[in-house]
Amino acid sequence: MPLRQYIDFKLYLTQIEGRQGACQVALLPTPEVGEAITPAAVEALPNPALLAALASKTISVSQLVQLGKQLADCLLPAGLVRDLFKATYRQIGNESGIRLRLIIADQALKQLPWEYVFLSLLDEPDSQRGFLLLDPRISLVRHEPLPFPHPVVSPSQADITDLRMMIVAAQPVGQPPLKLDDEVNNIQQAIQDFDVEGVRISAFSCIDATPSDLIQAMAGAGSVYILHFAGHGAVEVKPDWLNPGAEKQEGSILLLADKTSRAEARLPAEDFARLLQRAGVRLAVIGACHSGWRDSRYPWDSLAGALTARLIPAVVAMQYEVIDQSAVDFSKMFYYALASGLSLDEAVALGRQAMLRANSNDDPIADVEWGVPVLYSRLASGSIFPERMRRAGAAAEELRSLVEQTIGTIQATGKVTGISLEHLEGGSYRVKQRVHSVEGELSGIKTTTGKGDLDVNQHLDVVSGDVTGVELTGF
């Protein structure tokens, strides 16, 4: 099965010197796109009140659309940049994709929730279709600008059949209490009995972790492929010993000094990143507060910055708190997609689809969970497990079928259907789909090959066309 090809749409954002609340965006050269010779100036950043409503998850649907349009005005300003994006979108078709690669040079701009960008690509009234990241062909990657070569994932000689995952958690005394037991249980629930075509995710936990616990657990190259950290982070001001008289800010994760006193022990971002690099971690999922912090002068001293500078290929962080069930839904689909052989871009897109829940009532509060995950990567592509991609089979084909069906539904109705997978065991799985409106033809699953048991449950509210639940040949 060929890898979904993405066109990189590279955007460089920075504030305009001496002009508070303004920024400029430049389209960097890409063979399939071209470039904008002159950076476009943007005079107004998104409304702070709307940003606060989003952060508190009290934002209405109309306000979220308004905020998304303001983000689009900054990211894809009207004129040449927006015209080129629309032209690129029209050429990708259903089998390809477009990757919005954000290279942001300013700290304030890095804090904006770009994942909620809203741009109507058709001449039509506003609909859910306008949120770009709800289209599974569109990926958004935050690319940290660092003076280092981009990381390269070197595939191992043997095929991967066991994706080893470590869950690290700590709750020092004196810090606000976290529901770490719930978070760890949710992750374990998401991947329990996980088996896709002989590929398993094996999770082992390092709870109440001390620095020595973490060092011992991650000893040896290739010991961990995926790491999830649940706990607190911090940012502290420290002397910059290489520049006398200057200070720098340094991020860290908070572990336990010992299990008796449970006193706080800070593991600096650089030390944490070095541990992950030695262990061969390819994907880090960081749930700590302050993990999204950036510093324009010392970008590699933040948690995500240090991980990217240490050539960790991919980092997924949550820019806001995420509700438990949404986190489980994201993890199930995200890890299932990676184990099936899909790219990182596809896995995150499917994870967002799994988090999406249509409002069955007329609740004006917007469902924002799908935009909480943030992907950081400096990889040239989304190939995080190339060994698995080489022999991606029926499971990957089924996921691609789900993507194509979702694209068709969006195009026909302007609405997006959440996707969830259940019973991921022994090559069998169940697909649940909720579709509010069908205009034309809807096919639940189409496949020409596969093994195992498949159960499709569809809920259709309004049907004015033909619906096919499952179409199987040789399954």
Which comes out higher in pLDDT, residue 135 or 420? 135
**Is the pLDDT at 42 greater than 70, yes or no?**
yes
Which comes out higher in pLDDT, residue 274 or 161? 274
Of 264-278, 291-305, 312-326, 343-357, where does the model show the most confidence? 264-278
Is 1 among the domain residues? no
What is the per-residue DSSP string for 308-355?
HHTT-SEEEEESS---HHHHHHHHHHHHHHHHHT--HHHHHHHHHHHH
Q: Among residues 406, 291, 283, which one has the least CA distance to residue 353?
A: 406
DSSP assignment, residue 193?
T
Is 236 among the domain residues? yes
Residues 151, 152, 157, 158: what is their CA dihedral angle, to the nearest 10 degrees? Answer: 80
Mean pLDDT, residues 234-245: 72
* 226 and 320 fall within a common domain: yes
Neighbour-count burial of 366, counting CB atoms closer than 10 A to its CB (0-12 exposed, 13-18 middle, 19+ buried): buried
Q: Among residues 153, 282, 178, which one has the least CA distance to residue 228?
A: 282
* 383 and 397 fall within a common domain: no
The model's pLDDT over 203-212, given as tens digits with 9 standing for 90+, comes to 888 999 999 9
* 228 and 155 fall within a common domain: yes
CB 320 within 8 A of CB 116: no
Dihedrals phi, psi of 192, to nearest 5 degrees: -65, 145
- Give the rounded percent of residues in the chain with a pLDDT score beyond 70: 70
* 168 and 130 fall within a common domain: no
**Is the pLDDT at 272 greater than 70, yes or no?**
yes
Residue where a domain terminates, one of 361, 392, 423: 392
What integer pLDDT is reported at residue 403 of this predicted model? 67
* 83 and 185 fall within a common domain: no
Quote the pTM value.
0.77
Residues 287, 138, 379, 339: what is their CA dihedral angle, to the nearest 10 degrees? Answer: 70
- Bin 155: left if φ > 0, else alpha if -120 < ψ < 50, else beta: beta
Q: Among residues 124, 186, 180, 156, which one has the least CA distance to residue 335?
A: 186
Mean pLDDT, residues 302-307: 79
Is 385 among the domain residues? yes
CB 349 within 8 A of CB 297: no
Neighbour-count burial of 437, counting CB atoms closer than 10 A to its CB (0-12 exposed, 13-18 middle, 19+ buried): middle
* 24 and 112 fall within a common domain: yes
* 215 and 287 fall within a common domain: yes
* 408 and 269 fall within a common domain: no
Q: What angle do CA 168, 171, 177 make, to 5 degrees?
A: 125
Give the domain range for residue 221: 148-392
DSSP assignment, residue 39?
P
Tell me how far apart the alpha carbons of residues 103 and 170 are, in angstroms, rounded to a whole number: 32
What integer pLDDT is reported at residue 467 of this predicted model? 42
Tell me how far apart the alpha carbons of residues 457 and 469 are, in angstroms, rounded to a whole number: 8
* 447 and 352 fall within a common domain: no
**Is the pLDDT at 225 greater than 70, yes or no?**
yes
Q: Judging by DSSP bridges, how do beta strands 428-438 and 200-207 pair with one another?
A: unpaired
* 137 and 176 fall within a common domain: no
Average pLDDT of the residues of the chain = 77
Tell me how far apart the alpha carbons of residues 414 and 440 are, in angstroms, rounded to a whole number: 13
Confidence bin at 431 (pLDDT 50/70/90) = very low
Neighbour-count burial of 20, counting CB atoms closer than 10 A to its CB (0-12 exposed, 13-18 middle, 19+ buried): exposed
Residue where a domain terminates, one of 118, 143, 168: 143
- Which residues, in sequence order, are bridge partners of residue 118? 131
What integer pLDDT is reported at residue 154 of this predicted model? 65
What integer pLDDT is reported at residue 390 of this predicted model? 56
Residue 126, token pair as written in the block: 């506003």
- Give the rounded percent of residues in the chain with a pLDDT score beyond 90: 27
The model's pLDDT over 366-406, given as tens digits with 9 standing for 90+, comes to 889 999 889 999 888 767 766 555 555 666 666 666 666 66
* 129 and 238 fall within a common domain: no
What integer pLDDT is reported at residue 280 of this predicted model? 86
**Is the pLDDT at 107 greater than 80, yes or no?**
no
Confidence bin at 47 (pLDDT 50/70/90) = very high
What CATH number did the domain enclosing 209 receive? 3.40.50
Q: Among residues 99, 185, 206, which one has the least CA distance to residue 143?
A: 99
Mean pLDDT, residues 210-236: 84
Residue where a domain terminates, one of 105, 127, 143: 143
Confidence bin at 455 (pLDDT 50/70/90) = very low
Look at the chain and report how many structural domains it folds into. Answer: 3
Of 165-169, 216-220, 330-334, where does the model show the most confidence? 165-169
What integer pLDDT is reported at residue 460 of this predicted model? 43
User: Which residue type is seen at 232?
Assistant: H
* 312 and 293 fall within a common domain: yes
Least confident range of 10-24, 229-243, 284-298, 311-325: 284-298
Confidence bin at 241 (pLDDT 50/70/90) = low
